[in-house]
Structures are given as structure tokens and as C-alpha cells.
């Protein structure tokens, strides 16, 4: 299995974005950060893709992992690491 590319869609000065990035950094996960501030077209795409209007929105490959609270819950449940390794 290949490790999925992790992408974090975020905005500046977003405390939940900071927390999500810190969690991924703590796990040693490389990620691409895409700032959606001021990009209405990208924010509309995110809303259509995830059903959410908030950031961060985190993806592992094409799989939406949700926002920080979702990411944190996956980690606490022991389900995040297998996803990040491409095993789940």
C-alpha cells in the first residue's frame, strides 16, 4: 500500500488549523497546506466535497478526514495511524 498524500485546507489565524497541523507534525506526517482564505471558488469546492463550511478540512488522498475534532477523535480511537499509512 502507498502512503496517501495528506492535505490540510486552512485559513490564517485559525486555532483549529494550528492544532490539526501540530497533531500531524507530532506524528511526523508530511502534509501540504492550502490556504483557502479569500478563495471563494476553493471554499465552494470544499463545501461541495465535504458538506462542511469550516476549516481545517483534512484529506488523506481523496478521503476526507474532517476537521480538527474529527482528526483528534480518530487519533484517540487508534484509527488515524492506519489511515495515514494507507492501511485503512
Domain boundaries, the chain: 6-84
Q: Please, are residues 83 and 64 in contact by the beta-carbon 8 Å criterion?
A: no
Distance of alpha carbon 17 from alpha carbon 63, whole angstroms: 18
Q: Please, are residues 50 and 64 in contact by the beta-carbon 8 Å criterion?
A: yes
- Identify the architecture of domain 6-84 in CATH: 3-Layer(aba) Sandwich (3.40)
Number of Cβ within 10 Å of residue 25's Cβ equals 11
Distance of alpha carbon 22 from alpha carbon 19, whole angstroms: 5
pTM of the model: 0.94
pLDDT in tens, 16-67: 999 999 999 999 999 999 999 999 999 999 999 999 989 999 999 999 999 9
Amino acid at each position: 500500500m502507498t502512503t496517501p498524500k495528506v492535505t490540510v485546507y486552512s485559513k490564517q489565524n485559525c486555532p483549529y488549523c494550528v492544532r490539526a497541523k501540530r497533531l500531524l507534525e507530532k506524528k511526523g506526517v508530511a502534509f501540504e497546506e492550502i490556504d483557502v482564505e479569500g478563495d471563494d471558488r476553493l471554499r465552494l469546492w470544499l463545501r461541495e466535497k465535504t458538506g462542511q463550511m469550516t476549516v481545517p478540512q483534512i484529506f488523506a488522498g481523496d478521503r476526507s478526514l474532517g476537521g480538527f475534532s474529527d482528526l483528534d477523535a480518530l487519533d484517540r480511537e487508534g484509527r488515524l495511524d492506519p489511515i495515514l499509512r494507507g492501511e485503512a
